[in-house]
Structure 1
């Protein structure tokens, strides 16, 4: 069993330096009831599952209401926790349904909800304050500042970004007010979680809504011909178990809700052994994990901060041949040992006590025997019949007065009552929301302003300065030619001080505004004295999220480009939308440019990712050699003024990536005069 949650919290926050007895939680995936049972069989401390909607693996079998209720009851019998993954972005018209699903999970006994929508989380804490919340990795938590904001929002745990290094994780566990959950095994997305729009805007299947088409697993043209520059090997940190335990990581998470029950059982069994024996994996165990499933081996590149081509991998025919045949999973064989103490006395109700649960149930008063009295062996035989339950009687202690007759049916009823009492004790009854759920939204002031990001400051024209109220340029290259700065999408704690220096320099050069894409970056901007504006990376898709951002102090927020214009109309307050430009589809920790032409080409902005249809996606260098991948064509709405007016936007936002000064002026003219574009483009949804 794992430590109590409060003990874990104090350890994870660095307040208890003695970790010699600390054992982290083993958190296993289950995309089906069979995989759920496999996780129990393998020794999971906790299991995460998805319901029939609102989860990021919507193509898994998942759990209907009855399957979920039964699974939670079954897990609790084994002392296993269950977390419901409700980790998609929610639209306003779905919010009541989402909250109803959350309430249902709470009533069934779910131990926590894994949430990716900050607005939905705020409503859950209002109506179901007892329900524990875990911040999904889709919330893009990279460090302690994000954890502090999440703690204020009611989260007790943050699922750490997979890109965090050992030093990042250590710094987090020493300073975070909430627990750290770390992915230790399974598939890796090349894009930072919560920041990928590739599948959605190119393939019309949103990863943020559980429908990812995995464009990162497809081939693209590279310097060496066709390759897979976005396909990462699976993560495996099994060689770092002792270090992670010593850091005080609260939960070791295995990815794999799309995997088979056999995969879950076999991978989890090895991790169970490593945690229990408090040791790192041997070479033989690593090879065994590879034989279960791999993409050309495993990687721990992010963890060790060795990021490069050696992290890339695909599922080859050779990998498939090397995969060993998995023994079919045939159900839970694991039993929970209990001791039974029966007391059967003349003239008194029978009693049966179950240990170590220390639960006692009462039965009928035994009758006096006329012919054949019931003997101790008969009583024991009836009480031991625990088949079909998770329990096994290790010891049966019976005290029975002589001359009594107890019908077999009465003994069976006594045994069933004891089993039912145990089930009720591990899944206590909960009450529903205290009032009818009302979804209220933001009340921020609507303005009528325009902003733009210029990735190339040389393209800022006099007309642009006149047309836009705020012009942002990337923080790293800010030179005083704009009144706003665009923060990097990713800032680890180790990079925080350097970013603070850049922000103060930008202030000294006349910047007043900052475009912020992560709630963990807000404190940096406020300390620098800049006015914060929310970027599309905040993934605001509903009124409650907008209200949350306004409460934090954002002047306005650019809505998610995944929203339709009709959905945007549902959101009040100071909402903005991107009405022109190439949308950033991915931010990658690895430098994609290294495989497309090298650092010089990347820095000069000449790199493109070309897919199998010969469509080109511009690649640009980001802070610390990360990469940004942009859509192949820009959004254009210059000739759709009436539609934009109906959206009731507070601000209209433009993105200029590689446009020349003449093209910038031409685009502005199109929006002023409602002219169509003569170049390839896409519309807002």
Structure 2
């Protein structure tokens, strides 16, 4: 049986982390440039340093993927495209992209580069795979919320289209569906879709209900903080599922983290692949030492999470949102300003240990780790940690012995060489990559991985790739050169990125040669080998870009007021107040699922929805595979989609599938459309109207309004959705049987309260997914004159958290504002205690 080909993909936030990843055995690294990447606070790379990074990786057979996984604003399109072109020229092997417009244009103008769809595009179903293929993608990084069964099904779908799937196997988990989080953006102006997430989800919150004036019981206060993903024991399952790449999260993490985690996953993955090659099935577990190394690298506690169908409290880190390290024991005694600890693992000077006390946590760096006769280490507290008492737990959060020492030449590339010294012929030296089987048992992990990759590029025994010739060899005038002499001088490779595993010497008897000549020819042969290994990856010729054919501008018949309603009562009130279009979420269409002001309510359903409502498809729309909620609950939202009927699609996948079904499709704001290229993609996929991203400013909307191929809409009043979570936020109250239809918690409005007193409403839907809303209502009705001038022709009122009276008033306000703006260009007054979102302030 052939050995499966599965890539190990590691993060590289800095050059040091890049070296650590490749030295630890990564097959590929992903990194960001100074702009257009979702980790703008990482060290990142310039175009010049990217070239160096690519040369370093390619010499060792590793690949480099450039993350351009942010939303691209109108004024950035040209710069983003040029950035990608120069990155490809510098050696980038692929681009990881979120923005659908950038993805489509890179596929068109730079087809030689591989396009990988970022997890930020929220691909969680088969329609998403087909949409990615239509964009020209070669690989899709799947959403983290998928079970193993779903991953296997999507890997099969992708393979049928000549594509690959990639999954995250280790690292931080976002509580929100990727690409859908606006919490950091709307609270603090730092957008996750722009690479500056402030991680507001890791802050403390209280869960409260409308019926109580005190916080509900919870295991901790970090109610939006998941544990870290660790799928090291599921690698066999992921390989068997057809996954092409296992991805490690962590571009903001240290080189020590990258080195440790990559090395463990390399070792386990190799054992799995070796087992599959010999026909051995089943799991290949990590060792206890390997698990401990992962925990010490960084851990909020580990979970396999959604991969094994876990979506409850067991996957959450309610008590601690940051690294907890590994336990090293409990305080035995506190005396003379110091804690005495009998460690359960060896400690060393320079280790950082953290005390968990009733008053919080505090860290101390050990100046010494010498133990007394009782085996206890004395740790001076010096006032840095308060409230330490006997019995308190102690964790090591940084190991001095695990410190990473950067070596820009490591891992060395194993080579085999030949030297020919035949009298009357030119001195000849040749090198080629060594075969993995020729490496010594103690070869470095990265050296072994590099040898395997280089061998995979030339499956048969590699011919010499680097050859150089010197002067004609003559008989010795004094002492003849021996084969041992030749080996000793050729093997002086300490200042090069190579290590010699075998050298064949073809030597005539009585040969004489100057060793400096031998050194010179050896160096030239190594240069030739390097050039051969890097051939086609540097200073690439960029293809000529031809202009796109412009799409015809959309014809707008008039202005439309629309309402988003989650129950019949508010839908009817909105229609009476003047809303011409009513969007009803598919999950609220079913009898018994009406939600009014965040509360499941049967009384709001008495009259039924008005006729001609348009169905809105959910952001999170899994196929009925594996452990998905759709499979378990048996709820199919697509039964409401009909040919010739309007439908709102909140993802590229839903747009693809609904248009293919012949529906009249509008694109919702959860598919962030922020530039003209993205508008063109929506039009090409069959959309007639696009509801714009709430992160756009008025000026940016004006730019989109010029020559637009589709109608533009904008939500102008309503509570803005911050998150959609697979984990139900109401579960922190205690055990949950996940029978969402009968859940009593859903019949009471809930909210999360932060330490500043702001209250963020929580609504859990029929599939058990939670929706978190901003604490302050959006209202930009006063800006309708400017929005009309910018090209917006449709205006939405989101009544999700409104009652019937509030819904009527909000729709009436927009109808009135539109009449005033159309009549004489004036505006209505601004409402107090509301926010204008990003319309005027923008995002970082």
TM-score, L = length of structure 1 = 0.91
SS in 1 for 2:88: helix
Who is 2:312 aligned against?
308
318 and 192 in structure 1: CA distance in 2 versus 1, 3 angstrom threshold? closer
The farther-off stretch of 214-223 and 657-666 is 657-666
User: Cα deviation per residue 1:643-683 (whole Å; 9 max; x = unaligned)?
Assistant: 21232124223211222333233223333243224441111
Task: Spell out the pairing of 1:44-55 with structure 2 (5 A cutoff).
Answer: 44-55=26-37
Which of 574, 577, 587 is matched with 2:724 structurally? Answer: 587
1:221 counterpart = 2:231: no
The farther-off stretch of 185-194 and 308-317 is 308-317
Tell me, in whole angstroms, the C-alpha distance in 1 between the residues paired with 2:242 and 2:812: 57
Cα offset for 1:626? 0.2
Task: Spell out the pairing of 1:282-297 with structure 2 (5 A cutoff).
Answer: 282-295=287-300, 297=301
The farther-off stretch of 137-146 and 437-446 is 437-446
User: Cα deviation per residue 1:226-253 (whole Å; 9 max; x = unaligned)?
Assistant: 7111000000111212211211211111
SS in 2 for 1:201: helix
SS in 1 for 2:554: coil
Contact 1:440–1:544 (CA under 8 A) maintained in structure 2: no
User: Cα deviation per residue 1:161-193 (whole Å; 9 max; x = unaligned)?
Assistant: 111011111211222232111111100000000
Who is 2:833 aligned against?
680
97 and 404 in structure 1: CA distance in 2 versus 1, 3 angstrom threshold? farther
The farther-off stretch of 169-178 and 179-188 is 169-178
User: Cα deviation per residue 1:322-361 (whole Å; 9 max; x = unaligned)?
Assistant: 3351522123443322111122445544332212452142
SS in 2 for 1:363: strand
Who is 2:397 aligned against?
323
1:504 counterpart = 2:581: no
The farther-off stretch of 438-447 and 244-253 is 438-447
1:521 counterpart = 2:654: yes
Contact 2:90–2:540 (CA under 8 A) maintained in structure 1: no
440 and 188 in structure 1: CA distance in 2 versus 1, 3 angstrom threshold? farther
The farther-off stretch of 235-244 and 192-201 is 235-244
Who is 1:280 aligned against?
285
Contact 1:442–1:543 (CA under 8 A) maintained in structure 2: no
User: Cα deviation per residue 1:487-515 (whole Å; 9 max; x = unaligned)?
Assistant: 1111111167888854435659xx93211
Who is 1:11 aligned against?
none
99 and 373 in structure 1: CA distance in 2 versus 1, 3 angstrom threshold? farther
Who is 1:391 aligned against?
498
504 and 554 in structure 1: CA distance in 2 versus 1, 3 angstrom threshold? same
User: Cα deviation per residue 1:458-487 (whole Å; 9 max; x = unaligned)?
Assistant: 112466357333210111222542520111
676 and 499 in structure 1: CA distance in 2 versus 1, 3 angstrom threshold? farther
Aligned residue pairs: how many? 664
Who is 1:9 aligned against?
none
Cα offset for 1:210? 0.6
370 and 184 in structure 1: CA distance in 2 versus 1, 3 angstrom threshold? closer
Higher helix share: 1
Cα offset for 1:79? 1.4
The farther-off stretch of 542-551 and 565-574 is 565-574
Tell me, in whole angstroms, the C-alpha distance in 1 between the residues paired with 2:88 and 2:323: 44
The farther-off stretch of 438-447 and 417-426 is 438-447
Cα offset for 1:40? 1.3
Contact 2:563–2:811 (CA under 8 A) maintained in structure 1: no
Who is 2:664 aligned against?
531
Contact 1:503–1:528 (CA under 8 A) maintained in structure 2: no
1:366 counterpart = 2:371: no
Who is 2:780 aligned against?
637
**What are the ranges of 5 or more consecutive residues in structure 1 without an aligned counterpart?**
1-17
The farther-off stretch of 165-174 and 442-451 is 442-451
Who is 2:373 aligned against?
none
The farther-off stretch of 262-271 and 647-656 is 647-656
Who is 1:4 aligned against?
none
SS in 2 for 1:652: strand
Who is 1:337 aligned against?
414
Cα offset for 1:368? 4.5
Who is 2:764 aligned against?
621
442 and 591 in structure 1: CA distance in 2 versus 1, 3 angstrom threshold? farther
Cα offset for 1:457? 2.8
The structure number with the bigger radius of gyration is: 2
SS in 1 for 2:471: coil
**What are the ranges of 5 or more consecutive residues in structure 2 without an aligned counterpart?**
208-215, 273-283, 326-353, 355-394, 434-461, 590-607, 818-826
Who is 1:15 aligned against?
none
Who is 1:452 aligned against?
563
Tell me, in whole angstroms, the C-alpha distance in 2 between the residues paired with 1:117 and 1:37: 29
Tell me, in whole angstroms, the C-alpha distance in 1 between the residues paired with 2:833 and 2:801: 15
Cα offset for 1:621? 1.6
SS in 2 for 1:421: helix
What do you get for the CA RMSD once the two structures are aligned? 2.7
Contact 1:475–1:506 (CA under 8 A) maintained in structure 2: no
Tell me, in whole angstroms, the C-alpha distance in 2 between the residues paired with 1:44 and 1:93: 36
469 and 352 in structure 1: CA distance in 2 versus 1, 3 angstrom threshold? farther
Who is 1:552 aligned against?
685
587 and 316 in structure 1: CA distance in 2 versus 1, 3 angstrom threshold? closer
281 and 94 in structure 1: CA distance in 2 versus 1, 3 angstrom threshold? same
User: Cα deviation per residue 1:579-617 (whole Å; 9 max; x = unaligned)?
Assistant: 222221100000012236987565336111111111111
Who is 1:25 aligned against?
7
Cα offset for 1:305? 1.0
Tell me, in whole angstroms, the C-alpha distance in 2 between the residues paired with 1:317 and 1:56: 21
Contact 1:351–1:363 (CA under 8 A) maintained in structure 2: yes
Contact 1:135–1:150 (CA under 8 A) maintained in structure 2: yes
Cα offset for 1:384? 1.8
Cα offset for 1:274? 0.7
Contact 1:444–1:550 (CA under 8 A) maintained in structure 2: no
Cα offset for 1:211? 0.2
Tell me, in whole angstroms, the C-alpha distance in 2 between the residues paired with 1:678 and 1:145: 41
Cα offset for 1:63? 1.6
339 and 551 in structure 1: CA distance in 2 versus 1, 3 angstrom threshold? same
Tell me, in whole angstroms, the C-alpha distance in 2 between the residues paired with 1:469 and 1:528: 24
516 and 329 in structure 1: CA distance in 2 versus 1, 3 angstrom threshold? same
Tell me, in whole angstroms, the C-alpha distance in 2 between the residues paired with 1:423 and 1:576: 55
1:428 counterpart = 2:535: yes
Tell me, in whole angstroms, the C-alpha distance in 2 between the residues paired with 1:590 and 1:301: 10
Cα offset for 1:139? 0.6
